[in-house]
Amino acid sequence: MDEWLNSIIQGVLLGGLYALFATGMSLIFGVMRLVNIAHGDLIVLAAYLALICVDATGMAPLTSLLFVVPVMAVIGYVLQRGVLNLTLGDDILPPLLVTFGISIILQNLLLELFSADSRKLQSGWLDTASIQLGDTIAIGLVPLIIFGVAILVIGGLQLLFYRSKLGRAFRATSDDQDTARLMGIDNRHVFALAMAISLAVVAVAGVFLGMRTNFDPSIGPPRLLYAFEAVIIGGLGSLWGTFIGGIVIGVAQSIGAKIDPGWQILAGHIAFLVILVIRPRGLFPRAVD
Amino acid sequence: MTLLETHGLTAFYGDFQALFGIDMEVAEGETIAIIGANGAGKTTFLRSLTGLLRNAHDAVRFDGRPIGDARANAVVALGIAMVPEGRKLFPSLSVEENLLIGGHAGRKGPWDLGRIFALFPVLQERRGAPATALSGGQQQMVSIGRALMSNPRLLLCDEISLGLAPTIIRDIYDSLPQVTDTGCTLMVVEQDINQAMAVADRIYCFQEGRITLEGRPAGLTRDRIRQAYFGV
Amino acid sequence: MSRFTVERTTRTAQAGLGIFVVGLAVLISLPFWAGRADMRLVMEICYFLALAQMWNLLAGYAGLVSIGQQAFVGLGGYALFVGAIYLGIHPLLCILLAGLAAALFAVPTAFVVFRLRGAYFAIGTWVVAEVYRLVFAQVSALGGGSGMSLPIGIVRDLGSSPLQRDMIFYFICIALAVGTTGLVYWILRARHGLALTAIRDSEIASRSLGVDAFRTKFGVYVLVAGITGMVGALIFLLKLRISPDAAFSLQDWTASVLFIVIIGGIGRIEGPIVGTLVFFALRGLLADLGSWYLIVLGALAVLVMLFAPQGIWGLVAERLGWHFFPVRRRLKVGGGEAGDPA
């Protein structure tokens, strides 16, 4: 019994990381109906940027956030303004295919620069620190921090969306692009800001990914799928829904792994498909799409 | 002093030509009414003025400055605001937020939240409600208030009486003098010809993308208007 | 009162027919003067063309953008292996049955993924393909994660000499390439084609005119899955070995097909033909560069999508007005010609 409880707890904590993966995707879909196929690879890029910082200066991975987050935000702004804004319109193919191309480019560029070797961001004592609950349940400090940060990030974004001028602009643009322009909103700039924020969250997700597990250039696509599944399970348009979606995937994977290690990823996918069939609009749908 | 002029303004939707060389002059402080049947090009004209439709650089001049190809958000910053047809309130925003976002461009002037609430007191009571939960007339007030928040020099109103009861229409039009008293120039697109005649200094009639009539209400007969309206 | 007739062929179409006939003759004669390596290359070109035509039909015409077609390639491949090894069915017959099997799997797949729209539909199809990959990796009877090989005996029974076997495969590939191109052309000339283009252009409008969007899309999805399954079966019959990673590989069966269709021109029948040739030319030139080859392909796809979204064939067709496969109907008024000649 305790072992199952442990699995569920580990799954919930894992869900925090998946929620971080998914939040950036949920945000940009909400603001501009864009799905970025390169999302997972950008998470991996952030992990590698952190690696560069750590290797070059010996700083702790958590400290590297100070560098990786702004750099990724700038990358997001430039990427959106320079490339992705050109693809937005009524047709879904251009953004899909362009971001698919970017995904291929990123994966192979990282492969060329860093080789396929598995890497990890070492945090010394933090990596093995844990809180002991009873005999069988050990809560790793890193997963706990990630879970907490996920809550902070989503809470912060909710504040941004609902209590700030920029958030108002995001919501208005998401409702009706043309009328938003009539208010004086420059949607090229607003979209770029949304992508900048999205990639800032991706940066956090990437650094934590690198702290939690081994990574290499090829692990981007599965992260994209988990993020996507969390968004759909949660329901389009709801950031907290995305958070719950991440937890659902995390718990499903954890229970799957308990049954059979080879079933971990499959369990997550199956949970997603089941929810898709019985609740196609997700658990907390809000956006009308 | 001429605030707005258009010279040979043409507009296309793909291959379809909606406007055929519109020439118009509006003096500061005037109230202009545009009348015409559906599909005559009135909304297309307003969209061209606001920058939602891009036109030739010199086709539209505002305060002497060519804005024909300016982006919509730049046009607002210059001082042209529109109350769009169908109101187009933001469903995700409350009444107050809809008003606030009207001021996004940050133009200075007499209009702020307090003054809008003074103009339309019912909005203050419902300030926290989702904008689309209000009645049609109240939504129209929000839309007008939203446009005023950008402190425009020229306010464009596209069919603000559409779908509203006559008493509500009267209330809304009764509030417009408070707008023009601040020096704002008003351009009103109206399906209701009587309403247009009552409020305007001058009237333009559009028909199939062309101006077919222009003049002061007093000087226009029913027959002339009908001819210009229907093109018969 | 003027007479109106609807016309479909043009002079370039007739020229195209000529080129096609000559090309086909060359291809048919190829086994008699080219080496085995060249034959293998042409076979590969043919089955990629088939995959591309099917993807093009699905996305370009039916508006269903799938990045999970590798699911059906893999399903077809495994169906062939199961049929040939465990059921003792003749491998060539297995190809057809594999197509059927893939189409069968497409039914519940569609039921699930059609709940999603747009880009989310695309990723949903990818998830399904991943599920198939992971499930097959768990089935030890099919070799689990490392896969299985096709016993030599099965292949040897197909023909008396290696050359004869290669020729059988070769002509099947040619037939597949010609057949899928012809099928797409036929569908679009028929009533269904008009329905498809209508749905792609505006689902709401077409529905109001009585076109059943769901049934048409569902039908196209299942048909494409079936044929993709047949191609998959053929591919793995040629490779003699199958594994989950190879069978359900996004890189091999979807990324390359996407590239082909983007570069060639989406939504045009000639597009995949041009795209496949360009893809293989680039592969021949750059494959030595390893990851840089893929980076170049990705960058090329991005640039084409941004600045020439109609692809190479799209550019050509617009500039020169060529349509080798005329599927657009033009209205002729009386004796003269009205409408768009390009």
Cβ distance C266 to A266 less than 8 Å, yes or no, reads no
Contacts of C128 in chain A (CB under 8 A): 273
The DSSP H or E segment spanning B116 is helix B113-119
Cβ distance B50 to A182 less than 8 Å, yes or no, reads yes
CB A22 within 8 A of CB A245: yes
For the cut 60, the answer to whether the pLDDT of residue C307 exceeds it is: yes
DSSP per-residue string spanning C212-267: -HHHHHHHHHHHHHHHHHHHHHHHHHHH-EE-HHHHT-HIIIIIHHHHHHHHH-TT
Q: What is the count of residue pairs from A and B with beta carbons less than 8 Å apart?
A: 63
pTM (predicted TM-score)? 0.89
Exposure string (b/e) for C328-340, b if CB count within 10 Å is 16 or more?
eebebeeeeeeee
pLDDT digits (tens, 9 = 90+) for B124-173: 999 999 999 999 999 999 999 999 999 999 999 999 998 899 999 999 99
Contacts of C255 in chain A (CB under 8 A): 100, 104
The per-residue pLDDT for C336 is: 35
The per-residue pLDDT for A138 is: 85
Contacts of A34 in chain C (CB under 8 A): 119
The per-residue pLDDT for C159 is: 78
Nearest CA in chain C to A265: C134
Cβ distance C116 to A276 less than 8 Å, yes or no, reads yes
- Write the residue in B77, B104, B146 that is nearest to A169 by C-beta: B104
> Looking at CA atoms only, how far is residue C295 from chain A in angstroms?
5
Among left, alpha and beta (phi > 0; psi -120 to 50; other), residue B51 is: left
Q: Who has greater pLDDT, C141 or C11?
A: C141
pLDDT digits (tens, 9 = 90+) for C261-295: 989 988 777 889 999 999 999 999 998 888 899 99
* Separation CA A101–CA A87 (nearest Å): 13
> Looking at CA atoms only, how far is residue B230 from chain A in angstroms?
31
For the cut 90, the answer to whether the pLDDT of residue C153 exceeds it is: no
Cβ distance A183 to B71 less than 8 Å, yes or no, reads no
ipTM exceeding the 0.90 mark: yes
For the cut 50, the answer to whether the pLDDT of residue C332 exceeds it is: no
CA angle, residues C52, C57, C60, in degrees to nearest 5: 95
The per-residue pLDDT for C132 is: 96
Question: Which pair of structure tokens corresponds to residue C222?
Answer: 């299942």
Give the residue among C199, C209, C234, C217 at the shortest CA–CA distance from C91: C234
* Separation CA A202–CA A45 (nearest Å): 9
B118-132, B176-190, C15-29: least confidently modelled range: C15-29
Contacts of C299 in chain A (CB under 8 A): 101, 105
> Looking at CA atoms only, how far is residue A132 from chain C in angstroms?
34
Q: Do chain C and chain B touch with ≥3 beta carbon pairs under 8 Å?
A: no
Contacts of C301 in chain A (CB under 8 A): 97-98, 100-101, 104
**What's the rounded mean pLDDT across residues C329-342?**
40
For the cut 70, the answer to whether the pLDDT of residue C185 exceeds it is: yes
- Write the residue in B52, B91, B104 that is nearest to A183 by C-beta: B104
Residue A73 CB partners (closer than 8 Å, separation 6+): A196, A197, A199, A200, A203
* Separation CA B136–CA B133 (nearest Å): 9
CB A61 within 8 A of CB A211: yes
Cβ distance A96 to C119 less than 8 Å, yes or no, reads yes
CB A40 within 8 A of CB A202: no
Nearest CA in chain B to A184: B73
Residue B174 CB neighbour total at 10 angstroms: 9
Nearest CA in chain B to A286: B92
> Looking at CA atoms only, how far is residue A180 from chain B in angstroms?
8
In the three-class reduction of DSSP (H, G, I as helix; E, B as strand; rest coil), residue A138 is classed as strand
Contacts of A111 in chain C (CB under 8 A): 291
Cβ distance C134 to A112 less than 8 Å, yes or no, reads no
CB C49 within 8 A of CB C38: no
Cβ distance C131 to A98 less than 8 Å, yes or no, reads no
* Separation CA B48–CA B51 (nearest Å): 5
Interface test mutation site (partner C, options A35, A88, A93, A113, max chain C beta carbons within 10 A) = A93
All chains having 3 or more CB pairs closer than 8 angstroms to chain B: A
CB A169 within 8 A of CB A179: no
Nearest CA in chain A to C117: A289
End-to-end Cα, chain C, rounded Å: 27
Cβ distance B93 to A180 less than 8 Å, yes or no, reads no
Cβ distance A171 to B90 less than 8 Å, yes or no, reads yes
Residues 135-194 of A with CB under 8 A from B: 165, 168-169, 171-172, 174-176, 178-187
- Write the residue in B50, B51, B88 that is nearest to A176 by C-beta: B88
In the three-class reduction of DSSP (H, G, I as helix; E, B as strand; rest coil), residue A124 is classed as coil
Cβ distance C120 to A228 less than 8 Å, yes or no, reads yes
Residues 232-291 of C with CB under 8 A from A: 250, 255, 258, 262, 266, 290-291
**What's the rounded mean pLDDT across residues A154-180?**
95
The band of C335, judged by pLDDT with boundaries at 50, 70 and 90, is: very low
